[in-house]
Amino acid sequence: MTTVLAHVHPGDTVYGQVGDASVPLRFGDLPDEYQVLRDRAALLDLSGHRLIEISGPAAVDFAQRLLARDVEYLTSERCMMSLVLDDSGQVVDQVLAFGRENGLLLESSVGAGDRLIEHLRANNDEGVEITDRSGDLTVLGLEGPYAWGVVGRLIDGELASLPFEAVADTVWNDVEIIFARTGFTGEYGYQMIVPIESAADLWQASLEHVTAAGQEALELAMLEVRQPIPRLETAGGANVIEIGANWLVDVTKDEFVGKEAVLAAFESGQGRRTVGFSGGDTVPEPGARVLAGGEDVGEVVLAVRSVGLGATLGLARVDAELAAAGLEFTVEGAGVTTLTSPYIVPKSWSIPII
């Protein structure tokens, strides 16, 4: 699946394959795009996120059973992030669920659309309609401490002050769009679901007020606030508890696919836990061993060079009793220190919407 905006992106855009989607990793230099996102506002091509419509009389019952969070009373003015699990409790995807008058609209994580649709259809006991809307709708995002100002100049200032996870059906340039206050990076975040035939026009109009940032800058900023990136964190069969995404699961629900496995993992207290770390001059590969006092206590899940920290930043999965901040470990001969999240404090936390 190639981005529908490829024809308006710069010729030197660097693309990469993420799951089933080809996405812009960088439009220019990563440090510049990161700084734009953290200091001002960035425009995001989120067309690698698949949009799937769930409709029919049993749509809400189906979604309530398939999503790990409670969406029974999700209205058309709200959206909610949730995990989707299989029977063994493994993460299928992390979705953004939009309440709609005739059911729900699910937005997959980047490159996970095929897997999500296959899972939904395989578990369609209620006989709902499952429609891939990615042929006619796509997603653009805005993130940054001053993204609210861009919304005001681009569409309507009142939309900028929507509560978190609020949704509004609005109009831009005579085109109906779904507008939502969301966010992946801890900064002010917004999404615009727009018909594909108008996406390029909205993208170009947005660029008059803001600079584009690619997937690499987005995922670095996500890591810095410990926003889960399931495709990078679930290798080796790690469960919801081990990756630290239990906040995206509501175990008080009567039923959802994977609930028994999640409860069993929680009650057992076994397995490893994920913790952030920083330090060292190199970026270790996933699977690199984590040592404490010369003893193997875990492995690196992912690591990158953090522009904001000016150092290596990563996640490690370690013995549960060692998943705490301020501990000293060794990775590939270099000393690292475990961290408490967020690893970078977003500027949006101290900047009001005016």
**pLDDT by residue (tens digit) across 307-334?**
999 999 999 999 999 999 999 999 999 9
CA dihedral defined by 51, 57, 60, 64, rounded to 10 degrees? -110
Q: Which residues pair with 93 in a beta bridge?
A: 84
Kindly tell me if the per-residue pLDDT of 111 is higher than 90. Answer: yes
State how far the alpha carbon of 129 is from the alpha carbons of 4, 95, 97, 117, 124, in Å.
25, 18, 16, 12, 9
CATH number of this structure's domain 6-223: 3.30.1360.120
Three-class SS state of 109: strand
Helix H or strand E segment including 180: strand 175-182
Closest CA to 86 of 257, 259, 265, 263: 257
Contacts of 257 (CB under 8 A, 6+ apart): 65, 66, 84, 85, 86, 87, 123
pLDDT of the residue at 315: 98
| Residue 25 and residue 15 in contact, taking contact as beta carbons nearer than 8 Å | yes
- Please check whether the domain covering 271-354 is classified as CATH 1.10.10.10: no
Q: Which residues pair with 110 in a beta bridge?
A: 49
Q: Start-end ranges of CATH 2.40.30.110 in the chain? A: 271-354
CA–CA separation, 351 and 354 (whole Å): 9
Average confidence (pLDDT) over 252-268 = 93
| pTM summary value | 0.96
pLDDT of the residue at 2: 84
Helix H or strand E segment including 3: none
Q: Which residues pair with 131 in a beta bridge?
A: 53
CA–CA separation, 288 and 79 (whole Å): 38
pLDDT of the residue at 235: 80
